[in-house]
Structure 1
Amino acid sequence: MFELFDLSVIGIEWGSILLLGMMFLLLATGMPLAFVTGIVALFFTLFWLGPHAAPLLISRIYGFSTSYVFVAVPMFVLMAAILDRSGIAKDLFNAMRLMGGKMRGGVAVQTLVVAVFLAAMSGIIGGETVLLGLLALPQMLRLGYDRNLAIGTVCAGGALGTMVPPSIVLIIYGLIANVSIGDLFTASFLPAMILAALYVGYVLIRCYFNPDLAPIADEQELLMTSTEKWKVIRGVALPVAVAFSVLGSIYAGIASVTEAAGVGVAGIAVSTWIRGELRWALLRDSAIQTMRTCGMIIWIGVGATLIVGVYNLMGGMRFVENMLLNFGDGSPLSILLLMMAILFMLGLFLDWVGIALLTMPIFVPIIIQLGYDPIWFGVVFSLNMQISFLTPPFGPAAFYLKSVAPPDITLGHIYRAVLPFIGLQAVALALLVSFPILALWWQ
C-alpha cells in the first residue's frame, strides 16, 4: 500500500518544500505547533520512509523526555509561579524606590533593575512581564511618564528572562546542543548585563534631553518610614539571597543546574512561608501553572523531535548543511548571518521552544564545523530569541503586557513603543557577534 505513495521519488529538494508547505498550511489553520509537527512527521514517516521507521522515532521521544537536565525546567518554572503569586515582586519594586525615586527616569530605571532580579529568580518571561505590567506601568503612567517610554521599558525589561541566568531558553539550548548549561549561564551573564545597561542608558539619555518624558514624583510620595523601609528590605532579603545562591552554586561548580533548581524552589517556598504568604491555594495554583507550561514545552519538544528525526532520515540534514555552507561567498560570517536571518523570520511566527528544537539540531553542527564556539552561539541564539519576544506579529511580550494594560493601550501602541528597544537589542547582538570575547571572557 505504502509503495504506491512513495514520496521519496520526488527528491529531498521538493520534499523539503512539501514539508515546509504542509507545516505553514496547518499552522495557518490555528493548529498548535506540537500537533502540526507531529502530524507532518507521521505523514513523512509513512509515505517517505515507510512504517518500519516508526520505532526509531519512538526512541527519539524517549531520549528527549528522559534527559536528566530537563528536570531543571519545571523547577525554575515552579519558582517563577510562586513568585508570581507572592508579594516578593511588589516588595522588590518598593525596595528599588530607595535607590531611584528622586532620579529623573528613576521609576523606569527601577523597573529595569527589578526586571533583572526577577529574571535571575525565575528564568521565564511571561510572569515577569505581567508582574511589571501590574506594578510599574500604572505607576509610570500615573506620574506622567511618556506612554511609549513606559510601555517599552516594561516589555523590554520583562523579556530579559531569555538572557539572564537561569534562562529556560539556555537550558533547552544546552539540552539540544549537548553543551554545559553552567557554561552557558556564565557566558550569557555579561551580554545580559550589557543589554540591560543599554536599556538604562537609553532611558536616562532620553529623559536628560527631554525632561517631560519622565516627571519626578512628589517628595511626599517617595517618603517611607523607617518601619516601612525595614519591612520592605526584610521581605526581599531572603529571596534575593536565594537567587544569588542558586546562580553562585552553579558558577562555583558546587551544584549542577538541576540540583540548584531544586534548592531554589525550596528557598523561594521557605521565603514565602516566612513572609506568611504560603497557602494551599498558592501551592495548588503554582503547581497547575507549572504543569501547563511544562506540558506545552514537552509536547512541542516531542513534535519537534519527531520532525527533526524524520527529516534527518530523509537526508534533509545533509541537504540543509550543503545549502548553508554554499551560501554567498561561503564565509563563516555570511553563513552565521543567514542563520540569524532565519531565526528572525521564524521568530515572527513561532514560539522559541519550537524554533530551538527545529533549528538547533541543524545549526549547531554547522556552527562547530565553521569553527565557532557552541557556547557563544547559544548566547547569540538566546539574544535572537530576545528580539523575537518583542517583534510583531507574534511578539509574546506584547500579548502578556496587553493582558494587564489599561484598555486604552492597544497592541499597536505596544508594538510602536518597543521599536527603540528592538534597536538596542540589535546593537547588543552586533556587539556579541563582533566581539565573542564578551561571552567567552571566562575561558
Structure 2
Amino acid sequence: MSYELIALMMFSTMMLLLLTGQRIYGAIGFVAVASALLLWGDGGSELGFSAAMKLMKWYPLLTLPMFIFMGYMLSESGIADDLYRMFHVWFGPVRGGLAVGTIGLMVVVSAMNGLSVAGMAIGASIALPELLRRGYDKIMVTGVIQAGSSLGILVPPSVVLVLYGMIARQPIGQLWLAGAVPGLVMAGLFVIYILIRCALQPKLGPVLPKEERQVSWGEKMRLLQAGILPFLIFLSMTGLFVMGYTSLVESSAVGAVAATLAALVKGRLTFKVLHTTVEKTLGISAMFMWIILAALCFGAVFDGLGAVKAIEHLFIDKLGLGPWEIIIMMQISFILMGMFLDDTAMLVIVAPLYVPLVGALGFDLIWYGVLYTITCQIAYMTPPFGYNLFLMRAMAPPEVTLGDIYRSIIPFVIVMVLAMVLLMVFPEMALWLPNKVYGL
C-alpha cells in the first residue's frame, strides 16, 4: 500500500470518527496512535510520548490560559456590561445605532479576550435581549452578534493566531499586528452594511425614544470612562510586547494581572467571580491542550509518511494547479471542514499539511495566517453545521428559530468573503503594520 493511500485512509477515518460525534482530541489521537502502531510496531508508541513531551516543553503554551483567564475575568466582573451602556448612549440616536454599538462592543471584547466563544456569550446575554426589546429585527441582530463575535479570532490578542504561530513557527507579535488592520476593516464593513440597510429599511433598526436620547454631554463623557480600563489593559499587554519590553508569555501574564486589578478597582472581584473565571479557564485550557497533543501526534505520523510532499506532488505535478488555484482550494476545504469542526481543530489537523505547501508556493506565512483566520470566520457561520450557528441557537431566546439564524448570517458572510478577497488582492492590508513596527 502506497504512503499516499495510507495518509488518505488516516484522514478519512479521522473525519468519519468526528462525524459520529466523538470528541475531537479522541478521534485525532486514536487515529494517530493506531496508525503509528500498525505502521511501525511497538516503536510507534514513542510518537505519542514524544508529542506529549514536546507539548510539556512548549513554553509559549502558557499564554493560552493567561489570555483565557483575562477574557473571562473581564466578562464575569461585568466590565463588558459597562462598555455596552457606553455604546448604547453614544450610538442609540442613529438608525441601527445599537447594532453598530454591538459591533463596537465585540471589537473591544475581542481585544480583551481573543476567543469567539466569549464574544458570542457576551453578545447573546447582554446585547441581544436589549436589541430585541428596542424593536430591532431579530434576524438582523442575530447576524450582527454572530458576525461581531467572529472578530475574536482575528483582532489581537487572537488565541487562534497564537496557535497558528506555534504550528507554523511564525512570530506571534507579527501575526497579531497582521490581524489588526483586516479585523478593523471587517468591523468597518459590518458597520457600513448595518447603516445602509437600516437607512433603506428603518424598521429594522429604530432609533432610541426621544426621552432616552436626552442625555447630557457630561453624562456621555462620564460613560466614556467605561472604555478606559479595557484600553489600558490592552495597551499594557499588547503595547509592552510590541515595544519589546515583555516576551509573549510575560505579556499574557500582564494582561491577566491587569484584568484582575481592573475587577478589584471596580469592586467586583468577589469569590464567585474568581471561582467562575478559574473554572472556565481550566476547562477551555485543558480542551486546547488535549487537542494540540493529539494533533502533534497526528502530524508526526503524517510527516513520517511524507504526506506533505505527496500533497504538493498531487496539486502541482498531477493536477497542474497554479499557486492561487491551490490557495483557493485550501480555503474551500477549510469552509467545508468548518461545517463540522471548530477553528482549533481545523488548524491542528491541516496546518501541518498546508503551511509547508503555502511556503513552498512562495506566499508569506504571516499573510496566510490572517487569510486562514478569516476563512475560519466564514466557516464558523456557514450552514448547515457552522459552529457559531449552534452556539447562537443555544444562547438565543425561544422566539429566534434556527431558520432565523440561518437567514441572518447570509449578508455578513458575503461581507466576510469581500474582506477575504480584499486581503488576497491587497496583501499589504495584513503585512503593512508588522513590517512598519518591526522594520522589515
- Smaller-chain TM-score range? over 0.9
**Within the alignment, does 1:421 sit opposite 2:396 as a pair?**
no
Check conservation: 1:80, 1:121, Cα contact below 8 A.
yes
Residue 280 of structure 1 deviates from its aligned partner by 1.3
**Within the alignment, does 1:127 sit opposite 2:142 as a pair?**
no
Check conservation: 2:181, 2:430, Cα contact below 8 A.
yes
What is the rounded CA distance, in whole Å, between the counterparts of 2:288 and 2:127 in structure 1? 29
Residue 97 of structure 1 deviates from its aligned partner by 2.7
1:147 equivalent in structure 2: 138
Q: Which amino acid aligns with 2:388?
A: A
Secondary structure in 2 aligned to 1:439?
helix
Instruction: Please list, as runs of the form range in 1=range in 2, the aligned pairs for 1:32-431 lying within 5 A after superposition.
Output: 32-224=23-215, 229=220, 232-326=223-317, 328-431=319-422
Secondary structure in 2 aligned to 1:441?
helix
Check conservation: 1:352, 1:385, Cα contact below 8 A.
yes
- Evaluate the alpha carbon distance shift between residue 354 and residue 327 of structure 1 in structure 2; reply closer, same or farther with a 3 A threshold: farther
Q: Which amino acid aligns with 1:129?
A: M
Q: Which amino acid aligns with 2:377?
A: Q
TM-score by length of 1: 0.94
What is the rounded CA distance, in whole Å, between the counterparts of 1:233 and 1:198 in structure 2? 24
Gapped runs of 5+ residues in structure 1?
A: 1-9
What is the rounded CA distance, in whole Å, between the counterparts of 1:240 and 1:399 in structure 2? 31
226-235 or 99-108, larger mean C-alpha shift = 226-235
Residue 401 of structure 1 deviates from its aligned partner by 2.4
2:13 equivalent in structure 1: 22
Residue 274 of structure 1 deviates from its aligned partner by 1.0
Check conservation: 2:340, 2:387, Cα contact below 8 A.
no
Residue 177 of structure 1 deviates from its aligned partner by 0.6
Instruction: Please list, as runs of the form range in 1=range in 2, the aligned pairs for 1:426-441 lying within 5 A after superposition.
Output: 426-441=417-432
Secondary structure in 1 aligned to 2:362?
coil
Residue 225 of structure 1 deviates from its aligned partner by 6.3
What is the rounded CA distance, in whole Å, between the counterparts of 2:315 and 2:46 in structure 1? 30
**CA deviation string 1:204-230 (max 9, x = no partner):** 111111212211110212344678656
**CA deviation string 1:13-67 (max 9, x = no partner):** 3313321332133223211010111111121111112211322432223213321
Secondary structure in 2 aligned to 1:31?
coil
2:3 equivalent in structure 1: 12
What is the rounded CA distance, in whole Å, between the counterparts of 1:17 and 1:376 in structure 2? 28
Residue 328 of structure 1 deviates from its aligned partner by 4.3
Q: Which amino acid aligns with 1:205?
A: I
Q: Which amino acid aligns with 1:419?
A: I
Check conservation: 1:402, 1:410, Cα contact below 8 A.
yes
2:438 equivalent in structure 1: none
Gapped runs of 5+ residues in structure 2?
A: 436-440
217-226 or 27-36, larger mean C-alpha shift = 217-226
- Evaluate the alpha carbon distance shift between residue 56 and residue 19 of structure 1 in structure 2; reply closer, same or farther with a 3 A threshold: closer
Give me the CA root mean square deviation: 1.7
Check conservation: 1:88, 1:236, Cα contact below 8 A.
no
- Evaluate the alpha carbon distance shift between residue 423 and residue 326 of structure 1 in structure 2; reply closer, same or farther with a 3 A threshold: farther
Identity of aligned residues (%): 33
Aligned length: 434
383-392 or 225-234, larger mean C-alpha shift = 225-234
What is the rounded CA distance, in whole Å, between the counterparts of 2:154 and 2:352 in structure 1? 21
Residue 379 of structure 1 deviates from its aligned partner by 0.6
